Amino acid sequence: MPHGEFQALYVMWLRQMKRFMRSKSRLIATVVQPLFFLLIIGGGLSGAVLPGMTTDNYVQFIAPGIVAMSILFSSMYTGVSVLWDRKFGFLQEILVAPVNRFTIIFGRTLGGATTTLIQGSIVLIIAIALGVPIASIPGLLLAIVFMILIGFTSVGFGLIMASKIEDFEGFQIIMTLIIMPLFFISTALFPIATNTNLHDFIRKLSFANPLFYMVDGLRGSLTNIDNVLHPLVDLAIVLVICIIMMGIGSYLFSKTEM
């Protein structure tokens, strides 16, 4: 990579980091929201018996799901924040620069993934502090790989949205109509594939959900409790999804005209 492109990559990353570190409200929100999930929902349902769940501690079950959720939502936001840059004109400054569009994308994604990894790690540490067991050290490392991949995939999806929608209302609609249902059938909050109460159709449908493999992989590697597939199988699938999302996202962004 030529020196100039590397500089551009670095400064795109640096900008994301600076903006993240300075946005106190974002920092607080990313820690507090998962905390609510873990403490209130996790605590409130801690003794509950869910169909398909084998562990008797609900917090242990949802912890990986909440880590995935925090990464998922915040990195999707990072991708979509291209919309802000467009609105405030900064995108023009970037697009007129003598830098390859893919460098721009890559720098932005790297910045977004770094910030969300920080957020995910904070949630993970809180979860461990709440007594969520770690299966093994290699498992923890694999979990970090999953966290990175979830970050990249969601930034890619955010970029796709940002090049297809015009404003934040559109973003809200996609979040409500697509992301929330996918999240609900991702096994983040309750088991699906082993849940006999759900209709067979939904159980089958959950295997078509990209988020399922992310959550299941993270759960398998982190706690090894109630995961459906082997984490490495999940890893292969998530890797493919990640490449596809990033590919489409950067292709659409590279076509952007002002």
* Interface residue list for another protein (CB under 8 A): 3-4, 7-8, 10-11, 14-15, 18-19, 22-23, 88-99, 257-258
CB of 83 to another protein, least distance (A): 14
Q: How far is it, in rounded angstroms, from Cα 12 to Cα 91?
A: 12
Q: Give the chain's end-to-end CA distance (angstroms, integer).
A: 27
CB of 156 to another protein, least distance (A): 22
Cβ closer to another protein: 163 or 206? 163
For tokens 């492109």, what's the residue? 5
CB of 12 to another protein, least distance (A): 8
Provide DSSP, 55-83: -S-HHHHHHHHHHHHHHHHHHHHHHHTHH
Instruction: Enumerate the H helices of 130-230 as residue ranges.
Output: 137-164, 168-174, 180-184, 200-205, 210-222
Q: How far is it, in rounded angstroms, from Cα 64 to Cα 70?
A: 10
CB of 138 to another protein, least distance (A): 38
Q: Given CA atoms 62, 60, 191, 67 in this order, what sign does their dihedral have?
A: positive
Cβ closer to another protein: 91 or 162? 91
CB of 205 to another protein, least distance (A): 40
Cβ closer to another protein: 4 or 131? 4
Cβ closer to another protein: 23 or 176? 23
Cβ closer to another protein: 100 or 194? 100
Q: How far is it, in rounded angstroms, from Cα 106 to Cα 161?
A: 17
